[in-house]
Amino acid sequence: MEIKDEIPIVLFDDQCYVCIKFATIVNFLAKGKITMVGHYSNFGIKIRNEILDESALEMFWFIDKKRASGGRAALFPLIKAIFSTKSRKTKFAQMNNICSDNCKSTKAVFVRSFTLITSSKKIDL
């Protein structure tokens, strides 16, 4: 599977309950227009190795033709893509959540939300 053929892509932590719920909501709003990929899937590992750097696992990423944006920097391009990207058929595999119960706690939601707000990165492609 070629990365360029699947753009736009949202790369998210598929071992985190909160992140999986976030990705599910994004996929619902995008109506299949954005490819959803887990960090730890085979395709996610390929994306991390070819495009991203060592900070890849610290945040979710939105990847389009020009840039890979992570965390806070990815929010605006993601929202823009939800409303402007042409319809296409993509797959979103429902992930089995393998995190512990403390992954689903209120504290975990606040920690992930804080990380989203404080982490930001852009990588030009």
pLDDT tens-digit readout, 71-112: 889 999 999 999 886 766 555 554 555 555 566 666 766 776
Give SS3 for 33: coil
Any bridge partners for residue 121, and if so which?
70
Predicted confidence band of residue 10 (pLDDT cuts 50, 70, 90) = very high
Domain ranges of the chain: 3-124
- The string of DSSP letters for 46-114 reads HHHHHT--TTGGGS-EEE-SSEEEEEHHHHHHHHHHHHHSPP-----PPPPP---GGGGSHHHHHHHHH
Number of Cβ within a 10 Å radius of residue 40: 14
Give the global pTM.
0.80
Radius of gyration of the chain (CA): 14
Amino acid at 64: D
- Asked if 87 and 30 count as a contact pair (C-beta separation under 8 A), the reply is no
